[in-house]
């Protein structure tokens, strides 16, 4: 039971927060007025990325939206996003988020300032040392794809829910990166891991609501979540703890196998120099979990859209098939360098990542000093949301953005891919996605390997409506039940 004092403190904290927000709003760009406490959130429908984009018709490129109790400055077109995300003042994350309410130590994805900079630099260095962006990474992904195609072959052309096998397959690529090994699809630990991550993600799907609430509410939510919540999270946490502990026992700093080894080696060096370093086991644990959270679902969602759109537009599927046949052939696995000779396939992938932007509204940022965007003053410690969906549908950049048209990424003779600066699925500037290289390689290899082997069609028409479900990422609303027929 909560004491009267406890309730009083929470009510007081909330009231002060709301009062602070009203005063803060006076210094921020104009925007629609919401209701007390819930703000504008109640007026956003099932597709907030689209609703927020439409607000730009009235309020322009930069406006303030009260989401729950928080004032958030929205960057709602390419000009605003480019101007802001090029500035160091926009590199912070909010002090609190629902993620930080449940984690003891912030991961590199939640940190700000020098700690973030240092953790990020080190993560990128470790990935480089491990050969990410090079052939060894591709070999592991290609190997993982062979387990996937084995499962698909077992369906003998019967409809299958590809989502169910893509989940462990994608998560295995992060397992390789972080733990140094894969887990078989049928391994009980693997199944437990997927189930629990899935449960954790579905718990976290309320995160949108929590992000709009004061931090005390997030903490209370997880506290009241009771034993089930704790059981889910603790089970996931124990997998990471046991991996870190076994890595510590077998660490050879001259032969680093994965991210955990790379981090432990760096931690040893840092701790020798400074016992108060922010390179700690708890930070390693948070970073490792952030890689799974950020690097698994994003690639899977993108791959699901690629498959669905190649089914919906079968003429494009045929064109990708013919490019694969002439560049890769049938006797070897595709490699990432093949993309250089496959302009249409690249353009198709780009257009899918624009049309169904995986992360439609970016992870929240915070200004670390007084600054401005397109002439609007933005004070220090303001929360800022870059609407990537709006950038990808900005009519000042894209001709008929509502149309699905891979040719927009090709020169008129169809031979070259055009680089368009406003194409930013991995975000933009110094705090863009850490896993961009890995993400791009995975997406290309999965899509091309599957189309090399199969002609893909849909088991029903429902999923071809291409309806969306807004969440941490923009998921297909209907499960992708697909039919894979061997091409040879």
Annotated binding site: 433
Using alpha carbons, select from 158, 76, 55, 11 the residue that is nearest to residue 389.
76
Residues counted in the chain: 488
Total interface residues for ligand HEM by CB under 6 A: 25
How does DSSP classify residue 363? P
If binding is defined by CB under 6 A, does position 262 make contact with ligand HEM?
A: no
Q: How far is the CB of 472 from ligand HEM (least distance, A)?
A: 11
Instruction: Enter the tokens of residue 230.
Output: 């704790």
* Dihedral-angle region of residue 455 (phi above 0 means left; psi in -120 to 50 means alpha; beta otherwise): beta
Find the part of the chain contacting ligand HEM (CB under 6 A) among 23-31, 200-208, 292-300, 344-352: 292-300
**16-42 b/e with 16+ CB inside 10 Å = b?**
ebeeebeeeeeebbebeebeebbbbbe
- Residue from 432, 465, 485, 486 that binds ligand HEM (CB under 6 A)? 432
Q: Considering only residues 31-90, where is the footprint of ligand HEM by CB under 6 A? A: none
In the chain, the largest separation of any two C-alpha atoms, in whole Å, equals 73
Q: What's the CA gap between 434 and 430, in Å, rounded?
A: 10
* Closer Cβ to ligand HEM, 225 or 429, answer by number: 429
Nearest-Å Rg of the Cα atoms of the chain is 23
- Residue from 53, 70, 142, 298 that binds ligand HEM (CB under 6 A)? 298
Find the part of the chain contacting ligand HEM (CB under 6 A) among 144-152, 291-299, 331-339, 476-484: 291-299
Q: How far is the CB of 119 from ligand HEM (least distance, A)?
A: 8
Cβ-contact 264, 128 below 8 angstroms: no
Q: Where are the alpha helices (DSSP H) in 60-153?
A: 78-85, 98-102, 113-129, 135-153
The binding track of 360-399 with respect to ligand HEM, each residue x by CB under 6 A or -, is --xx------------------------------------
Q: Where are the alpha helices (DSSP H) in 296-367?
A: 297-312, 314-327, 343-355
If binding is defined by CB under 6 A, does position 263 make contact with ligand HEM?
A: no
Find the part of the chain contacting ligand HEM (CB under 6 A) among 192-200, 322-330, 430-438, 456-464: 430-438
For the chain, counts of helices (H) and of strands (E): 18, 11
**To which residue do tokens 């290899």 refer?**
445
* Closer Cβ to ligand HEM, 17 or 120, answer by number: 120
Q: How far is the CB of 363 from ligand HEM (least distance, A)?
A: 4
* Closer Cβ to ligand HEM, 386 or 482, answer by number: 386
Angle between helix axes 162-179 and 297-312 (nearest 10 degrees) is 140
Helix (H) or strand (E) holding 477: none
Q: How far is the CB of 128 from ligand HEM (least distance, A)?
A: 12
If binding is defined by CB under 6 A, does position 435 make contact with ligand HEM?
A: yes
If binding is defined by CB under 6 A, does position 475 make contact with ligand HEM?
A: no
If binding is defined by CB under 6 A, does position 295 make contact with ligand HEM?
A: yes
Q: What's the CA gap between 139 and 134, in Å, rounded?
A: 9
* Closer Cβ to ligand HEM, 69 or 438, answer by number: 438
Q: What's the CA gap between 317 and 323, in Å, rounded?
A: 10
Pick out the residues of the known binding site for heme.
433
Using alpha carbons, select from 456, 455, 446, 487 the residue that is nearest to residue 144.
446
If binding is defined by CB under 6 A, does position 359 make contact with ligand HEM?
A: yes
Q: How far is the CB of 133 from ligand HEM (least distance, A)?
A: 11
If binding is defined by CB under 6 A, does position 470 make contact with ligand HEM?
A: no
Q: In terms of DSSP bridges, do strands 160-161 and 365-366 run parallel, antiparallel, or are they unpaired?
A: unpaired
* Closer Cβ to ligand HEM, 431 or 453, answer by number: 431
- Residue from 291, 336, 389, 446 that binds ligand HEM (CB under 6 A)? 291
Q: Considering only residues 104-133, where is the footprint of ligand HEM by CB under 6 A? A: 108-109, 120
* Closer Cβ to ligand HEM, 304 or 323, answer by number: 304
Q: What's the CA gap between 262 and 258, in Å, rounded?
A: 6
Q: Dihedral of CA 344/349/354/356: which sign?
A: positive
Q: How far is the CB of 224 from ligand HEM (least distance, A)?
A: 29
- Residue from 434, 448, 463, 482 that binds ligand HEM (CB under 6 A)? 434
For ligand HEM, the binding residues (CB under 6 A) are 108-109, 120, 290-291, 294-295, 298-299, 302, 358-359, 362-363, 425-427, 431-435, 438-439, 443
């Amino acid at each position: 039971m909560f004491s009267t004092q406890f309730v009083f403190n929470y009510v007081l904290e909330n009231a002060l927060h709301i009062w602070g927000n009203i005063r803060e709003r006076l210094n921020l760009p104009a925007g629609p007025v919401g209701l007390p406490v819930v703000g504008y959130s109640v007026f956003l429908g099932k597709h907030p990325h689209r609703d927020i984009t439409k607000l730009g018709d009235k309020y322009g490129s930069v406006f303030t939206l009260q989401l729950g109790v928080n004032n958030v400055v929205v960057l709602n077109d390419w000009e605003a996003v480019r101007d802001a995300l090029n500035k160091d003042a926009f590199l912070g994350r909010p002090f609190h988020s629902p993620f930080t309410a449940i984690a003891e130590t912030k991961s590199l994805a939640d940190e700000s300032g020098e700690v973030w900079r240092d953790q990020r630099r080190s993560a990128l260095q470790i990935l480089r040392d491990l050969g990410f962006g090079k052939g060894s990474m591709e070999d592991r992904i290609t190997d993982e794809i062979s387990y996937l195609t084995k499962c698909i072959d077992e369906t003998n052309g019967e409809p299958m829910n590809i989502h169910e096998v893509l989940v462990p397959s994608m998560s295995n690529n992060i397992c390789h990166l972080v733990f140094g090994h894969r887990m078989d699809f049928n391994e009980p630990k693997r199944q437990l891991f997927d189930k629990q991550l899935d449960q954790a993600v579905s718990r976290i799907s309320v995160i949108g609501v929590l992000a709009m609430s004061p931090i005390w509410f997030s903490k209370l939510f997880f506290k009241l979540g009771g034993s089930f919540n704790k059981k889910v999270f603790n089970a996931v946490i124990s997998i990471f703890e046991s991996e870190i502990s076994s890595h510590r026992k077998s660490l050879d700093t001259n032969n680093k196998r994965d991210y955990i080894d790379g981090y432990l080696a760096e931690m040893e060096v840092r701790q020798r120099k400074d016992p108060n370093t922010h390179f700690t086991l708890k930070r390693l644990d948070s970073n490792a979990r952030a890689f799974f959270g950020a690097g698994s679902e994003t690639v899977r969602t993108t791959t699901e859209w690629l498959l669905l759109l190649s089914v919906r537009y079968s003429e494009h599927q045929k064109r990708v098939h013919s490019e694969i046949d002439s560049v890769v052939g049938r006797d070897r696995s595709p490699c990432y360098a093949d993309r250089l000779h496959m302009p249409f396939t690249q353009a198709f992938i780009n257009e899918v990542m624009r049309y169904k932007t995986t992360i439609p509204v970016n992870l929240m940022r915070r200004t670390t000093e007084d600054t401005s965007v397109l002439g609007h003053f933005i004070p220090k410690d303001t929360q800022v949301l870059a609407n990537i969906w709006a950038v990808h549908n900005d009519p000042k950049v894209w001709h008929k953005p509502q149309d699905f048209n891979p040719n927009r990424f090709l020169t008129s003779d169809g031979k070259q891919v055009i680089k368009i600066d406003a194409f930013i699925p991995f975000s933009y500037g110094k705090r863009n996605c850490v896993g961009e290289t890995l993400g791009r390689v995975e997406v290309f290899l999965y899509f091309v390997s599957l189309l090399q082997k199969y002609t893909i069609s849909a088991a029903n028409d429902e999923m071809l409506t291409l309806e969306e479900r807004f969440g941490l990422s923009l998921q297909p609303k209907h499960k992708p039940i697909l039919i894979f027929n061997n091409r040879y």
